[in-house]
Amino acid sequence: MISSPTINLDDYAVSPVHGFLPTGLPLQALPHGYYAPWEKLVTQLPNLIRAGQIRKLIDDLPVLETTWLRSEAEFRRAYSILSFFTHAYVWGGERPQETLPPCISKPFLEISRHLELPPCATYAALTLWNYTSTTETDLTEPDHLSVLSSFTGTKDEEWFMVISVAIEAKGARLVPLMLDAIAAATAQDVPRLTALLCRFTDGLGDLTRTLNRMYEHNQPHVFFHQLRPFLAGSKNMTAAGLPNGVFYDVGRGEGEWHQYSGGSNAQSSLIQTFDIFLGVSHSATGGTSMKSSGTSYIQDMRNYMPAPHKRFLEALSALSNVRSFVMTTAAGSSLREAYNAAVMALTSFRDAHIQMVSRYIILPARNCPPRETKATDTVNLATASAQVDGLSESNATGLYGTGGTSLIPFLKNTRDTTKSATC
């Protein structure tokens, strides 16, 4: 057994107050005037997408250098802007565009290398680094939050994003609690570990209640038809019109094809932290679409997280000992009951997510009657989803998530694996 937890949150850009969110509010705009063309265009994004002009306006952008990006906050802002440009360019037309112009590809690839992130719309780009607040000290109330950039300009999209920000903010206080619990397990301090697990369970319940606030301002038809197509990646997207992924053109005929998963809450380091803490071990099931280089989809999602956060998960995995210690205690003990309650609270969170997916994705897809695609029909993730026959929550193996996973089988397997961690 380990001697003591040795994680310093500062080493991993994790805050005991804000968790995986930045310690300060994300930059609302890049300060150097050199990047004014980016800032001007991103504010007009929803209108240009609706008008069918976004590709032309992006094509007209100059190829900007990254020289004038000075701080990590500036790199993050630039990364978020170019993520929105990328997915607007690829999905903002009647047909997906499989080639990105150099004005996006060249700076985006450089910025992504600096941040150790893939050049696509990750959870970090869309959520962690894309909000502002009426107060910098309390980010737990979604009514006080708003987004910096948007594909649709709708309240629905904004609410979808800020609910995740609020969950991240509320979950932040659980991070030091989990480290304290690991220390208690190391010291074999049963009363303290039991109390900490009870507090952890209460915290997860609060996150589930926040998640369920999604229904307040996010309409399923708006999410499915207007927003979700822009969240799609370029991996396993043949049915949506990208059989080869996307070619990142850097000029002079040079570039490479890439296939990336789309923005997904599976890229939240907070949720994976819960799994590691409780000793929940997920496996890739439901077909090869959920496997990436022999590793599970959830493991692959770490490659879409900010690099310090990914390293935090690796460090936490090496220390996590709560479940193994709980297993040494008697069945029916207060500690086991507290641990099992925590596992079931995480299971309930995932149940709430499955119910949400049913309402926001499965039902809208089922209500779109399949039809033969005509040359003038829009092709994207929403229209591809609508081509699945006999779609229901219990039989939705043909419906894929933005990351290219077989959606419902993956989510149910994740939920069931969580539940099976009880002892």
Annotated binding residues:
353
CB proximity list for 234: less than 8 A, separation 6 or greater? 90, 120, 242, 245, 246, 258, 259, 260, 262
Residues at the annotated binding site for heme b?
A: 353
